[in-house]
Amino acid sequence: MLGLRYIQCFLLLLCSIIVNVHAKSAIGSRTLIVFDDRVDDLSNYSNFFNLLKDHEFDITTLELSDKSTKINLFEKDTRLYDNLILFPVKGKLYSKQLAAKKLIHFNEDGGNILALTIPKVSSDPIHLYLNQLGIYPSPRTQSLKDLFQDSNNNNLQFTAKESIENKIIYSNENAEDSIYNFGDSVSAALLDNREQIIPLLKASRTSFTSGNKTREINWTDGTQGYLIAGFQNLVNARSLWLGSVQFLSNEHFKQNLDLINDLIQWNFQEKNIIKVTNVNHYHTESNLSYDELPYKVTDNITYTISLSQWDGSKWIPFITDDLQFELRQVDPYYRITMKPQGVSPIDPQAELYSTGDFKLPNRHGMFTFLTNYQRSGLSFIHQSDVKAIRHLANDEYPRSFEIPNAWVYLASIATVIISFIAFVLFFIATPASVSEGVTTAKKTN
Amino acid sequence: MAPVIQKKKSVASKDDIQKDFMEAINLSISSYKSQVRNNKKLRLIDIFATMLVVIGVFQTAFVGLIQDNYPFNAFLAGFIICVGQFVLLMCLRLQLTHPFEGISKSKAFGEFVVASLILHFTCLHFIN
């Protein structure tokens, strides 16, 4: 295992020396772009594709206006692509090939999906997929409007300060007043309140979604609606939904560049990737592991975990102050915030966290040593280890003479026994005037 | 007899009741004294019994005082040895004053000693 890690480390080092340019995805770079020429001309997005190429994505494009095109995401259960970019697709022809089930399968297998919708066309498969995730984009013809924005070309603009929801993904902290342009054809979505959904950019307070028909009910009102939302499933594959295609177009590219960059980096797993490299727990005094000396109640235990983070080219230590450890048996008996201890001595790419010394509860049974670190934007970490904690053996309880409280009772017993012996001696020694006494007693009675 | 007493009671004032009560107490004290006067063994038994009661009460008070019964087995051992010894003593006393048929007083005493030893043995093990 260790040898493997060294090889991996060496390979990474080699790669970083050879390549040494842009950030890279932690999982892979095979990217498929699905688009429909009838909806939009792909040449409008050349800057975006150049950005992808800068990120070293290996791009394959699939044009769907030709009806004979086949979309194969898998070949014999092997995933062919790591990332999938879905531009809006017209018509129902591809609802089978891009069925929500297939997309979810792709996502669950570890593939990342970037899905785009626009109000102009109803790309059913994409909508169905997003609905499965809990993202509900506005239906066809309903588009986002904001009558308070004084622009002459109907372009919707949002400032980072007001609209950006997730500061983990949005890295550009300095430019809080930067403005992002979403163009004039924008769909907004309602979001489910699932833990996996990561709201990224919400609509402005004065915006609303409305359709062409006058009596149609608005899909969203004000900050209800979202324009960008992420979704990270339980195997840490990521999906991203963008409510506007023009957001990526050459026209607005320069203005939106830093946000697009952040989104791509997050979506295609170039950043905010963390992993557990090593988990350990042991007796604090003797450093013996569970296998060497099983735990019993009220033992002193230390739990450590090492976390690494992908910085775009290599794994580096991940430092945070809100990592918690739980010792649970149905309910948590402990919830300890772990302290970073510096770089792990075993693995220089990871940060070591330790709970410090803690005492196991006075309760035996199966306990879970759990680190459940789930922050929206970061990879989910769920590291659990179930161990049995035994009760005391009959000769491990403290003897009563070791307990100060019990000295009182010991003294009482000693007194009783000594006085009993004295009593017996006196009883034998006293002259037997018994018969007389008894007779007198009987007489008085 | 009974109706007469009832009549008396209904008429009797509080003082009368107190008087009767005092009379009964005095009577039992004097009978006790006369019982014990010539019998040193009975006196010895009673002294020992009193001592056991004092020790038992002391331990209970200790538990109440520290608001904790932590080595509960130790408390139980200490308390039970008092109660058990007291019961055995009372049995012995009963046999001295009113001997059972076929059991001599020395045999009763022997049984008392054996039973006490078993009790002590048990309690010592219980407190470990």
CATH number at residue A160: 3.40.50.880
Torsion sign across C-alpha atoms A246, A247, A249, A254: positive
A1-18: average pLDDT:
51
**Reported confidence tier of residue B10, pLDDT bands at 50, 70, 90:** low
Helix (H) or strand (E) holding A157: strand A157-159
CATH number at residue A378: 2.70.50.60
A10-37: average pLDDT:
66
pLDDT of residue A439: 45
How far apart, in whole angstroms, are the C-alpha atoms of residue A340 and residue A355? Answer: 9
Domain count, chain B: 1
Boundary of a domain, candidates A267, A289, A322: A267
Reading phi first (left if > 0) and then psi (alpha if -120 to 50, else beta), residue A429 is in: alpha
pLDDT in tens, A357-412: 999 999 999 999 999 999 888 999 999 999 999 999 988 888 888 988 899 999 99
Q: Tell whether the model's pLDDT for residue B78 goes beyond 50.
A: yes
Q: Identify the bridge partners of residue A143 per DSSP, sorted by sequence position.
A: A210
Structure tokens at A97: 């090939």
Q: Do both A7 and A105 map to the same domain?
A: yes
DSSP result, A114-178:
EEE--SSS--HHHHHHHHHHTEEE--TT-EEEETT---TT---EEEHHHHB--TTT----S-TT-
Q: What percent of chain B stands above pLDDT 70?
A: 91
Structure tokens at A157: 């603009």
Amino acid sitting at position A414: A
A254-274: average pLDDT:
88
Cβ of A441 within 8 Å of Cβ of B44? The answer is no
pLDDT of residue A422: 95
**Reported confidence tier of residue A257, pLDDT bands at 50, 70, 90:** confident
Q: By C-alpha distance, which of A234, A254, A259 is closest to A158?
A: A259
> Which residues in A lie closer than 8 A to residue B36 (C-beta atoms)?
437
Q: Do both A188 and A336 map to the same domain?
A: no
pLDDT in tens, A86-139: 888 876 777 777 888 888 999 999 899 999 888 888 778 888 899 999 999 988
How far apart, in whole angstroms, are the C-alpha atoms of residue B81 and residue A155? Answer: 93
Q: Tell whether the model's pLDDT for residue B89 goes beyond 80.
A: yes
Q: Tell me which residue range forms the domain holding A172.
A: 2-267
Q: Do both A355 and A421 map to the same domain?
A: no
| Domain-embedded: residue B51 | yes
Helices (H), B38-104: 40-66, 72-97
How far apart, in whole angstroms, are the C-alpha atoms of residue A440 and residue A232? Answer: 99
Nearest CB to B41: which of A405, A409, A427?
Answer: A427
> Which residues in B lie closer than 8 A to residue A396 (C-beta atoms)?
none
How far away is chain B from the Cα of A273, in angstroms, using its nearest Cα? 51
**Reported confidence tier of residue A5, pLDDT bands at 50, 70, 90:** low
Q: By C-alpha distance, which of A334, A344, A215, A231 is closest to A280?
A: A344
pLDDT in tens, B101-115: 888 888 999 999 999
| Domain-embedded: residue A294 | yes
pLDDT of residue A26: 79
| Domain-embedded: residue B115 | yes
pLDDT in tens, A29-51: 888 888 887 777 788 888 888 88
| Domain-embedded: residue A228 | yes
Q: Tell whether the model's pLDDT for residue A205 goes beyond 80.
A: yes
What is the number of other CB atoms lying within 10 angstroms of the CB of residue A430? 15
Residue spans of beta strands (DSSP E) within A51-139: 58-63, 74-75, 78-79, 83-86, 112-116, 135-137
How far away is chain B from the Cα of A359, in angstroms, using its nearest Cα? 20
pLDDT of residue A95: 75
Nearest CB to B85: which of A416, A433, A436?
Answer: A416
How far apart, in whole angstroms, are the C-alpha atoms of residue A247 and residue A181? Answer: 6
DSSP letter assigned to residue A93: T
How far apart, in whole angstroms, are the C-alpha atoms of residue A375 and residue A198? Answer: 10
| Domain-embedded: residue A157 | yes
Q: What is the dihedral of CA A136, A141, A142, A147, to 10 degrees?
A: 150
Instruction: Lowest mean pLDDT of A64-78, A227-241, A402-416, name the range.
Output: A64-78
Q: Which residues contact A329 (CB under 8 A, 6 or more apart)?
A: A363, A365, A366, A367, A368
| Domain-embedded: residue B25 | no
How far away is chain B from the Cα of A293, in angstroms, using its nearest Cα? 28
Q: Do both A251 and A281 map to the same domain?
A: no
| Domain-embedded: residue B87 | yes
pLDDT in tens, A411-436: 999 999 999 999 999 999 987 654 44
How far apart, in whole angstroms, are the C-alpha atoms of residue A200 and residue A167? Answer: 9
Domain count, chain A: 3
| Domain-embedded: residue B53 | yes
CB contact A400 to B (< 8 Å): yes
Please tell me whether residue A324 adopts helix, strand or coil conformation: strand
Q: Do both A104 and A204 map to the same domain?
A: yes
- Give whole-number Cα distances, B84 to A361, A413, B77, in Å: 37, 12, 10
Q: Tell whether the model's pLDDT for residue A85 goes beyond 60.
A: yes
> Which residues in A lie closer than 8 A to residue B39 (C-beta atoms)?
433-434, 436-438, 441
Boundary of a domain, candidates A218, A249, A267: A267
Cβ of A409 within 8 Å of Cβ of B75? The answer is yes
Q: Tell whether the model's pLDDT for residue A22 goes beyond 70.
A: no
Q: Which of A397, A408, A433 is most worth mutating to test chain B (most B CB atoms within 10 A of its CB)?
A: A408
Q: Which of A392, A400, A415, A420 is most worth mutating to test chain B (most B CB atoms within 10 A of its CB)?
A: A420
A55-81: average pLDDT:
82
pLDDT in tens, A279-325: 999 999 999 999 999 999 999 999 999 999 998 888 999 999 999 99
Structure tokens at A318: 């991940």
Q: Do both A263 and A280 map to the same domain?
A: no
**Reported confidence tier of residue B9, pLDDT bands at 50, 70, 90:** low
Q: Do both A289 and A169 map to the same domain?
A: no
How far away is chain A from the Cα of B65, in angstroms, using its nearest Cα? 12
When the pLDDT of each residue in chain B is averaged and rounded to a whole number, the result is 88
Q: Tell me which residue range forms the domain holding B104.
A: 40-127
Q: Do both A173 and A73 map to the same domain?
A: yes
Q: Do both A180 and A304 map to the same domain?
A: no
Please tell me whether residue A291 adopts helix, strand or coil conformation: coil
The burial class, CB within 10 Å (0-12 / 13-18 / 19+), for B30 is: exposed
| Domain-embedded: residue A436 | no
Cβ of B82 within 8 Å of Cβ of A431? The answer is no
pLDDT in tens, B40-60: 889 899 999 999 999 999 999
Q: Tell whether the model's pLDDT for residue A259 goes beyond 90.
A: no
Q: Tell whether the model's pLDDT for residue A20 goes beyond 50.
A: no
**Reported confidence tier of residue A3, pLDDT bands at 50, 70, 90:** low
| Domain-embedded: residue A162 | yes
Q: Do both A121 and A246 map to the same domain?
A: yes
| Domain-embedded: residue A435 | no
Cβ of B48 within 8 Å of Cβ of A423? The answer is yes
> Which residues in B lie closer than 8 A to residue A424 (C-beta atoms)?
113
Q: Do both A210 and A331 map to the same domain?
A: no
Q: By C-alpha distance, which of A345, A367, A379, A31 is closest to A236?
A: A379
Structure tokens at A215: 């009596």
DSSP letter assigned to residue A223: G
How far apart, in whole angstroms, are the C-alpha atoms of residue A182 and residue A157? Answer: 6
Nearest CB to B77: which of A413, A426, A440?
Answer: A413
More confident residue, B4 or B18: B18
Instruction: Lowest mean pLDDT of A4-13, B20-29, B43-52, name the range.
Output: A4-13
The burial class, CB within 10 Å (0-12 / 13-18 / 19+), for A138 is: buried
**Reported confidence tier of residue A159, pLDDT bands at 50, 70, 90:** confident
DSSP letter assigned to residue A38: T
> Which residues in A lie closer than 8 A to residue B124 (C-beta atoms)?
413
How far away is chain A from the Cα of B3, in angstroms, using its nearest Cα? 27
| Domain-embedded: residue B20 | no
How far apart, in whole angstroms, are the C-alpha atoms of residue A97 and residue A84? Answer: 14
How far apart, in whole angstroms, are the C-alpha atoms of residue A409 and residue A386? Answer: 41
Q: Do both A242 and A187 map to the same domain?
A: yes
Look at strands A30-35 and A83-86 and give their pairing.
parallel
Structure tokens at A143: 């588009």
- φ and ψ at residue A5, rounded to 5 degrees: -65, -40
Q: Identify the bridge partners of residue A181 per DSSP, sorted by sequence position.
A: A157
* Stretch 239-298 of chain A: residues touching chain B, C-beta under 8 Å: none
pLDDT of residue A441: 44
| Domain-embedded: residue B107 | yes
When the pLDDT of each residue in chain A is averaged and rounded to a whole number, the result is 84
Residues of B with CB under 8 A from a CB of A: 31, 34-42, 44-45, 48, 51-52, 55, 58-59, 62, 66, 68, 70-71, 73-75, 77-79, 81-82, 85, 96-97, 99, 105, 109, 113, 116, 120, 123-124, 127-128
